[in-house]
């Protein structure tokens, strides 16, 4: 259901609709399965490596978020009932912060040192389809099933919308980047946005 390539090693993780996550080493000389994780009860829908690549974070339809330590080859932590709805996506902000989105349109920001939610953003009316991080390391772009895109400060104590698309997308797709965003449409139309919030 999801695939995530390690940022510096020939390792990939792949998840299934039944919850399993396989971790593989790949190369010209052959492939090897390093681990098969089966701790999630429902589909694992999001995979993200930590900034240093030492941890794989997983988000599941069972509403939990878990972490797998690649060097120790074990599940290092699980936040059960992290969301009230199924977790739909994850985004690592830095070594201490993780953002997660769910099927109800809620985005949560977690302090990994305490395994505690430190902020909730709930402007979307449908599932969160993707979360991207700007180069400044502080600004999040969230796309939702309601067709809206929103830029938010990841650490703003009183969140304020700084951008909202004036025309909801008929069928939103994952955002590929913040500096030049190409949201997809069910109809044959494509809009191009700059981070300066103007439509080109």
Instruction: Give per-residue pLDDT as tens, 1-38.
Output: 899 999 999 999 999 999 999 999 999 999 999 999 99
Strands 32-37 and 74-79: unpaired
Rounded to two decimals, the pTM is: 0.79
Q: How many residues does the chain have?
A: 200
Phi, psi of 44 (to 5 degrees): -90, 115
Instruction: Kindly tell me the burial class for residue 190, based on how many C-beta atoms sit within 10 Å of its own C-beta (0-12, 13-18, 19 or more).
Output: exposed
Instruction: Give per-residue pLDDT as tens, 100-159.
Output: 999 999 999 999 999 999 999 887 889 999 999 888 888 888 888 988 888 777 665 444
Instruction: Give per-residue pLDDT as tens, 42-52.
Output: 999 999 999 99
Instruction: Kindly tell me the burial class for residue 91, based on how many C-beta atoms sit within 10 Å of its own C-beta (0-12, 13-18, 19 or more).
Output: buried
Q: How far apart are CA 198 and CA 194, in angstroms?
A: 6
């Amino acid at each position: 259901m999801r695939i995530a390539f390690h940022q510096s090693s020939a390792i990939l993780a792949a998840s299934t609709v039944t919850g399993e996550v396989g971790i593989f080493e790949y190369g010209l000389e052959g492939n090897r399965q390093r681990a098969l994780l089966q701790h999630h009860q429902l589909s694992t829908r999001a995979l993200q490596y930590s900034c240093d690549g030492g941890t794989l974070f997983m988000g599941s339809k069972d509403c939990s978020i878990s972490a797998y330590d690649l060097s120790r080859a074990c599940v290092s932590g699980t936040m059960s009932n992290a969301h009230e709805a199924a977790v739909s996506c994850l985004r690592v902000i830095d070594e201490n912060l993780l953002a997660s989105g769910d099927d109800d349109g809620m985005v949560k920001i977690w302090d990994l040192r305490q395994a505690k939610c430190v902020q909730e953003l709930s402007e979307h009316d449908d599932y969160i389809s993707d979360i991207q991080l700007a180069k400044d390391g502080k600004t999040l772009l969230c796309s939702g099933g309601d067709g809206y895109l929103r830029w938010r400060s990841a650490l703003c104590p009183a969140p304020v919308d700084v951008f909202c698309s004036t025309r909801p997308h008929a069928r939103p797709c994952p955002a590929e980047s913040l500096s030049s965003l190409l949201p997809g449409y069910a109809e044959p139309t494509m809009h191009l946005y700059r981070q300066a919030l103007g439509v080109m």
